[in-house]
Amino acid sequence: MRRRKYLLVALLAMVAGVASGVGREHGRGRLEEASRLYLEGVKRQNLGTLREAAQCYEAALREVPEHAASYYRLSGIARMIGEPETALRYGRRAYEIDPECVEYADNYARLLALSGDYAGADGLFTELFRQDSSNLETLSMLAALKLERGMPGEAIVLLDTLQARGGWQPRTIEMKRQALIRAERYAEAYDYMARVCEELPDESAFRIQLAELAAALRRDSVALENYRRAIAIDSTSVGPRIALAEYYRIKDQWPEFPEALIPVFAHPAFPLQAKVDYFGTYLGRSPELYRRYFVYMARLADAVFWSAPKEELARDFYARHLIYGGQAETALEHLAQWIGEGDASASLYQLAIAVAQHRGLADTVDRYLAEAQARFPNDPELGMTRLAVCFQWSDTLGAIEAAREVIGYSTNDSITIEALSFCGDMAHLRGNNKEAYKYYERALKLAPDRAMLLNNFAYYLSEEGKELERALRMATRANELTPQSATILDTKAWVLYRLGRYEEARELMRQALVMDAEGSAELFLHYGDILFALNEYFMAKTYWQRALEAGADGRKIEERLKRLEAAENGKK
């Protein structure tokens, strides 16, 4: 029995040893397979086939779930294809598996910084720098993180060390300039940039930065000197010239500002759209300045036009400049020339129609309208232009026809709503409220929150005494959307009046009268009616008289005064 027992123990030990050896062999095999898959992934990644590379790394992780190098590589691919959260997750896993690996720690720290976790990134980079204080890139990242965390003083200390070791590097210079400014050490920032310009005299960007600091410190002569030196250093670039023009703009110095812009606008590197936008924002909004410095405005407009004379945007801009400068006839001549070339856009036709209409040239308007609609038969904006022309020249039927055509083909909801609203208003004026309400309902389906549409519909319903509760809801919503409008307040007050809620109506009408800057006859008339309903006859008469003075229909006032007289006699 004892011998059998010993034999059994020996057998079990042998089986266990064999099993252990098999397990080690199996683990070694999986590691070798993971390594093979990883190397295949690196090869495919180097060839640019990222999807296949990622599949190799994922397969390696199925063999060895703790394969840190595969997580690291997957992190890099996720970052390259714009998946920062996935990159961070993989980067964190690689670091957790092997926190001693500098490459993994650096990658994870950078990903933390990209995700906005500056404190976490700061801690990791601090530890990396402690391990290797000679790594200037780690020092640079630490300085940048201090700056992002609102610690400019600490950043400056690190940047001084970085500059002492690495020399005058553009990135270091820019960070230190920013750090000094954020620390509100403006004089030091100026002195520092002056030193930079001594060390790197041929860098125009640093000259511009020195000029900006000089301007902020009111050292204007130094600022101007450095702007001009920047232009001299880089005479073919538009950047220094824009910087000088911006200096004059901020200082509000005229005519220096538009004069400095002329070479900027003539420069081919300054995009056409940027020129037009800049002009509209800073130069074309003040008629007084436009007139006073018209010579400079004209030179700027010429620069814009001649930088791209065949471009529609340049032509449109130049024509509008001529119109704004009072040269409508010259503008029309240019537009006629461009239209005659045969490739004019719908917008150029519209501009020509507007100028001809303004000058009362009916035949020219009709000709351009016909040409434009023949070339652009389903252009909703042209259709609305035709509507406006017909309406201005009292051709109401033609305007209604144009609006109906626009409704039929327009795919622009905003224009369709305008056409529907116009048709509704015209139907209401003709007394056909049933048709008017159909148009308003269609418009409201497209724009349930268009304030003036809600306002007009509510007012017309109140005038007819129909659906007053719905009219009140619409008027209330219109007032929420446009709370400072006297007209919209008047509509809500009038709906309340029609509902018999006179006290509420009076309160709103008081607000409307305060906001009304034009002295509207209709508002005076309505307020008089509300006061009459409240039996305040004297004040009602006063406001009706004010309505008459403001242009109200005398017959309507006479009718009201007769009602007032009858009411006063009834009281007696």
**370: pLDDT strictly greater than 90:** yes
Q: Using the predicted structure, report yes or no on whether residue 123 has a pLDDT greater than 70.
A: yes
Instruction: Give the pLDDT band of residue 246 (cuts 50, 70, 90).
Output: very high
Tokens of 301: 């407009």
Burial (CB < 10 A; 0-12, 13-18, 19+), residue 386, is buried
Q: How confident is the model at residue 448 (pLDDT cuts 50, 70, 90)?
A: very high
pLDDT at position 571 is 67
Nearest residue to 213 (alpha-carbon basis) of 166, 173, 272:
173
Task: Indicate if the pLDDT at residue 1 is higher than 60.
Answer: no
| Residue 55 predicted with pLDDT over 80 | yes
Q: How large is the average pLDDT for residues 268-282?
A: 93
Name the percent of the chain lying above pLDDT 90: 88
Contacts of 210 (CB under 8 A, 6+ apart): 190, 193, 194, 196, 197, 222, 226
More confident residue, 284 or 166: 166
Mean pLDDT for 98-107 is 96
Amino acid 25: pLDDT:
55
Please say whether the dihedral angle defined by the alpha carbons of residues 359, 361, 362 and 364, taken in this order, is positive or negative. negative
The Cα–Cα gap between 335 and 353 comes to: 10
Instruction: Show the tokens assigned to 100.
Output: 């001693």
Residue 447: strand, helix, or coil = coil
Chain-wide mean pLDDT for the chain?
Answer: 91
For residues 141 and 51, what is the distance between their CA atoms, to the nearest angstrom?
30
Supply 389's token pair: 């022309």
pLDDT tier, 26 (very low <50, low <70, confident <90, very high otherwise): low
Q: What distance in Å separates the CA atoms of residue 67 and residue 96, rounded to the nearest whole number?
A: 11
pTM as predicted: 0.68
Backbone φ/ψ region at 184: left (φ over 0), alpha (ψ -120 to 50), beta? left
Of 17-21, 61-65, 371-375, 540-544, least confident by mean pLDDT is 17-21
Local confidence band at 169 (pLDDT 50, 70, 90 cut-offs): very high
| Phi, psi at 27, each rounded to 5° | -65, -40
Q: Cα–chain-centroid distance for residue 523?
A: 38
Residue 8 binned pLDDT confidence (cut-offs 50, 70, 90): very low
In this model, does residue 353 exceed pLDDT 90? yes
The average pLDDT across 231-259 equals: 95
Tell which phi-psi region holds residue 466, choosing left (phi > 0), alpha (psi between -120 and 50) or beta: beta
For the residues 282-287, what does the mean pLDDT come to? 84
CB atoms within 10 A of CB 24: 10
Q: In the structure encoding, which two tokens stand for residue 134, read together?
A: 């000679």
Please determine, for residue 338, whether its predicted confidence score (pLDDT) is greater than 50: yes
- The percent of residues above 70 in pLDDT, for the chain, comes to 95
Distance separating the N- and C-terminal Cα atoms of the chain: 138
Tokens of 447: 């724009």
Mean pLDDT to the nearest integer, 524-536: 95
pLDDT (mean) for 446-455 = 94
Please tell me the predicted confidence (pLDDT) of residue 572: 55
- Residue 285 predicted with pLDDT over 80: no
Residues 270, 261: contact at Cβ < 8 Å?
no
Kindly state the tokens that stand for 391: 């309406």
